[in-house]
């Protein structure tokens, strides 16, 4: 059975998240149901991560084993025609070797959290940003964010429902910058805990609003106590921006035509 990597973009407002759930629309189910309508029944789509309800993705990667060979050009078009959704699209398909795995082969994931810090909300960005009705102190937020860089026990910033075996994670890169009337929190790591980025965002928001000093983030981290975390930011502003693999696969996923393949 040929295996394909899919590059997927979705607007997460109407989804219960990536993972299939009974009685609620998910990205995984939408893709699997579309493939079933194409005659690819009982296939499982494995994502590089599991985004929560309301979270968006600019560059999610998944893999799937199909019963027949598909043109890498036609497969995204065929799936998109069958989903019946305007908030989900397969951007690219690549045939890969049988052992390639969207989740376990990923070496880094990148997320962005978007704050809108003006006093009037943006109707065009409803469900796409977290509206804060006063200016945020970006410099203080960035200073505070640097306490989170490196390898730490992130119990404070971990959901009680997190299923990870350990609270230890390594944050490779974290920064807070301004983009016009938005403030962006960008974080890169190999993997994340459940609600980790939204917990970061909610705590850094307290710094940006002047309610916490920057050093309070370090104190919260050292506490290893969920009660030391600030409010968890809403899902609306969170985006999966990138999933990184080996150099060859990265080139194929990003820089070449949709007809390129990586064969065994």
Q: Is the pLDDT of residue 260 over 60?
A: no
Q: Are residues 68 and 161 in the same domain?
A: no
Task: Count how many domains the chain has.
Answer: 2
Alpha helix ranges (H) inside 67-153: 74-83, 138-145
CA atoms within 13 A on the CB side of 211: 11
In this prediction, residue 140 has a pLDDT band, given cuts at 50, 70 and 90, of very high
Burial of 50 (0-12, 13-18, 19+ CB in 10 A): middle
**34 and 57 in a common domain:** yes
Confidence grade of residue 262 (pLDDT, cut at 50, 70, 90): very low
| Mean pLDDT within 103-123 | 97
Q: DSSP state, 128?
A: T
- Residue 257 has what pLDDT? 47
Residue 259 has pLDDT above 60, yes or no: no
pLDDT value of position 208: 98
Q: Mean pLDDT of all residues in the chain?
A: 94
Give yes or no: residues 159 and 193 share one domain.
yes
- For position 80, what pLDDT does the model report? 98
**Structural contact between residues 115 and 133, judged by C-beta atoms closer than 8 angstroms:** no
CATH of the domain at 86: 3.30.70.580
Query: What per-residue confidence (pLDDT) applies to 256?
Result: 53
**Percentage of the chain lying above the pLDDT 70 cut:** 96
- Residue 162 contacts residue 195 (beta carbons within 8 Å): yes
Confidence of residue 173 (pLDDT cuts 50, 70, 90): very high
Assign 180 a pLDDT band (cuts: 50, 70, 90): very high
> pLDDT digit string (tens) for 11-23?
999 999 999 998 8
**pLDDT of 255 above 70:** no
Q: Are 229 and 129 found together in one domain?
A: yes
Single out the catalytic residue among 52, 87, 172, 181: 52
CATH assignment of the domain containing 200: 3.30.70.660
Active site residue 52: yes
pLDDT digits (tens, 9 = 90+) for 70-91: 999 999 999 999 999 999 999 9
Looking at the fold, whether 97 and 142 belong to one and the same domain comes out as no
Asked if residue 264 belongs to a domain, the reply is: no
Most distant pair of Cα atoms in the chain: their distance: 58
45: CB partners within 8 A, 6+ apart:
6, 28, 31, 32, 35, 62, 63, 64
Give the residue numbers spanning the domain of 100: 3-104+245-254
| pLDDT band, very low/low/confident/very high, at 248 (cuts 50, 70, 90) | confident
User: Phi and psi (nearest 5°) for 181?
Assistant: -90, 15
Question: pLDDT at position 247, please?
Answer: 85
For 27-63, give the DSSP string: HHHHHHHHHHHTT-TT--PEESS-PBTT-EEEEEEEE
Burial of residue 133 (CB within 10 Å: 0-12, 13-18, 19+) is exposed
Lowest mean pLDDT among 158-162, 171-175, 236-240: 158-162
Q: How confident is the model at residue 164 (pLDDT cuts 50, 70, 90)?
A: confident
């Amino acid at each position: 059975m040929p295996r394909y990597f899919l590059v997927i973009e979705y607007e997460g407002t109407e989804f219960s998240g990536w993972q299939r759930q009974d009685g609620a629309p998910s990205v995984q189910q939408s893709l699997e149901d579309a493939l079933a309508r194409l005659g690819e029944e009982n296939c499982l789509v494995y994502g590089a991560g599991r985004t929560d309800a309301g979270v968006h993705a600019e560059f999610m990667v998944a893999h799937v084993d199909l019963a027949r060979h598909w043109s890498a050009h036609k497969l995204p078009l065929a799936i998109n025609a069958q989903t019946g959704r305007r908030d989900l699209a397969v951007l690219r398909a690549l045939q890969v070797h049988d052992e390639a795995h969207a989740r376990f082969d990923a070496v880094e994931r990148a997320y962005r959290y978007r704050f809108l810090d003006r006093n009037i909300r943006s109707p065009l960005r409803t469900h796409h940003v977290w509206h804060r009705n006063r200016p945020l102190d970006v410099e203080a937020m960035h200073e505070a964010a640097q306490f989170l860089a490196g390898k730490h026990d992130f119990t404070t910033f971990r959901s009680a429902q997190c299923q990870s075996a350990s609270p230890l994670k390594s944050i490779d890169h974290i920064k807070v910058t301004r983009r016009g009337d938005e403030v962006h929190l960008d974080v890169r790591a190999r993997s994340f805990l459940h609600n980790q980025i939204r917990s970061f965002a909610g705590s850094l928001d307290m710094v940006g609003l002047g309610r916490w000093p920057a050093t309070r983030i370090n104190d919260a981290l050292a506490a290893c106590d969920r009660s030391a975390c600030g409010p968890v930011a809403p899902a609306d502003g969170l985006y999966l921006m990138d999933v990184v693999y080996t150099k060859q696969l990265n080139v194929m996923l990003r820089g070449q035509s949709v007809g390129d393949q990586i064969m065994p």
